[in-house]
Amino acid sequence: MSTQLIDHNEDLKRLKDEGFVLEFRPGYLLVHRIPYFNLAKEIKYGILVIRLHLAGDKTIKNIEHTAFFVGEAPCDRNGAILNNILNNSNKRQLFDNLVADHYFSAKPQINNGKYKDHYEKVSTYVGLISSHPKSVDSNITEKGNKIINSSESSVFNYLDTNSNKPELSSLNSKFREQKIGIIGLGGTGSYLLDLICKVPVKEIHIFDGDWFYNNNAFRAPGAPSKEELISPQKKTSYFYEIYSKMNNSIIEHDYYVTNESLKEFDDFNFVFLCVDRGNIRKEVVKYLESKNISFIDIGMGINKIGNSLGGMLRVTASTPKKRNHVWDKNRIPFSDDLENEYNSNIQIAELNCLNATLAVIKWKKLLGYYQDTTLEYNSFYLLGSNHSINEDKENES
């Protein structure tokens, strides 16, 4: 990915051609071996870290003026800290193995305080920092003509510049070893895929043996063309083609889950159940519990009340910390509800989307990504009253 970025962008290519030691990580450009004086007037080498501003694989113009620095506080030849660029020295965890020691702010006097491109920003900061040791030894250089291959791998086909704030970069480590299963790619399951594919989990396994028809198009994210519907595809193939453009961790299983295929879940960390067949749901739940695998079962009960639709959405979580509510309180239905209007193909994509959103939020809470002060394992959203009910707290028997 670093080679592709350099080849496609004149500002990054110029940095490489001039010999800067570059490393690309998700959302950031690292410039290594930047010479500087420390407080003891010793020559040290640090790392300049700037955010990458991209549109696809193309850098954009007029980028922000701040930067991070890994190393001691840079000083001039007399040992005075360069307060003209040092904003603060609060440590920030940028990646699991990289902590920034300082935060710089050197705003250009022109162009509304923004740098023209990444080359201008890097060369400006390097000049401000390295000119001091170079003034006493002309042999000192930041050049090394090298591209460092980062150990950070990515499931995304292009750099994630959305979550590149330091506090979010470290939080994302909670997802990296997660192997996720989504059983059922109907209305709710397809929105789950849409949301989870934007999270840097290790693998996303999608299971469904059904075909993608007109009725599915009105209940799923996106907008297929008529031509795409004339020659139907399996749901897994249809959604894989869309979301693999962004995420390369998606693995499709174009069949229904049966008792014989349950062993495929053995290596999963988490499973989302979006199935409407009670018998197989029961077998999956029992199997996941036996393997100590956490899961969320998503359900929706929609009925016609007068001339309107009413009902509720349900999100039921189960982890090794709490499972008794599933059976003691019958939180997950194991029979087919023939009275549920949802099964008659009414088009309620917004409820599918909301149900999936609530499930993903709960999953992220269980991982510690979001704050969770309620610790509920079963929740209902009541459509008519716009009210949420949280039940089965983690510490309740």
287 within domain boundaries: yes
346 within domain boundaries: yes
166 within domain boundaries: no
Please state the rounded mean pLDDT for residues 247-257.
94
Please state the rounded mean pLDDT for residues 149-165.
68
55/323: higher pLDDT = 323
**CATH of residue 238:** 3.40.50.720
Q: Does residue 160 sit in helix, strand or coil?
A: coil
165 within domain boundaries: no
Q: What is the pLDDT of residue 4?
A: 75
Residues 129, 229 within the same domain: no
State which residues form the domain around 48. Answer: 2-160
User: Is pLDDT of 383 > 90?
Assistant: yes
Please state the rounded mean pLDDT for residues 291-309.
93
In this structure, what are the phi and psi dihedrals at residue 34, rounded to the nearest 5 degrees?
Answer: -85, 115
Position 43 confidence tier, pLDDT thresholds 50, 70, 90: very high
121: left (phi over 0), alpha (psi -120 to 50) or beta: alpha
Residues 68, 181 within the same domain: no
For the chain, what is the mean pLDDT?
90
- Give me the DSSP letters along 26-54: TTEEEEEEEEEE-TTS-EEEEEEEEE--E
Residues 127, 86 within the same domain: yes
Residues 219, 98 within the same domain: no
- Could you tell me the two tokens for 240? 């894989």
In the listed set 160, 192, 221, which residue is the last one of a domain according to the structure? 160
Residues 214, 78 within the same domain: no
Residues 229, 376 within the same domain: yes
Within 8 A by CB and 6+ apart from 138, the residues are none
Residues 234, 99 within the same domain: no
- Could you tell me the two tokens for 236? 């897994």
The per-residue pLDDT for range 160-200, each reduced to its tens digit, is 766 656 556 668 888 989 999 999 999 999 999 999 999 99
For the chain, how many structural domains are there in total?
2
Residues 288, 193 within the same domain: yes
Residues 155, 179 within the same domain: no
Q: What is the pLDDT of residue 27?
A: 84
Listed range (91-95, 99-103, 195-199, 269-273) with the worst mean pLDDT: 91-95
The per-residue pLDDT for range 54-70, each reduced to its tens digit, is 888 899 998 999 999 99
In the listed set 128, 160, 192, which residue is the last one of a domain according to the structure? 160
Q: What is the pLDDT of residue 335?
A: 81
The per-residue pLDDT for range 207-235, each reduced to its tens digit, is 999 999 999 999 999 999 999 899 889 99
Report whether 66 contacts 103 (CB < 8 A): yes
Q: What is the pLDDT of residue 150?
A: 59
- Give me the DSSP letters along 273-319: E----HHHHHHHHHHHHHTT-EEEEEEEEEEEETTEEEEEEEEEEEB
CB atoms within 10 A of CB 261: 13
Residues 206, 337 within the same domain: yes
Q: What is the pLDDT of residue 168?
A: 65
Position 346 confidence tier, pLDDT thresholds 50, 70, 90: low
User: Is pLDDT of 338 > 80?
Assistant: no
Nearest Cα to 38, choosing from 59, 3, 69?
69
168 within domain boundaries: no
Residues 147, 250 within the same domain: no
CA distances for 85 relative to 12, 111, 155, 212, 246, angstroms: 23, 18, 35, 57, 37
Position 148 confidence tier, pLDDT thresholds 50, 70, 90: confident
Chain-centre distance of CA 243, in angstroms?
14
Count how many residues are written for the chain.
397
Residues 102, 210 within the same domain: no
Q: pLDDT > 90: what percent of the chain? A: 73
In the listed set 134, 160, 186, which residue is the last one of a domain according to the structure? 160
277/202: higher pLDDT = 202
170 within domain boundaries: no
Which amino acid is located at 255 in the chain?
A: Y
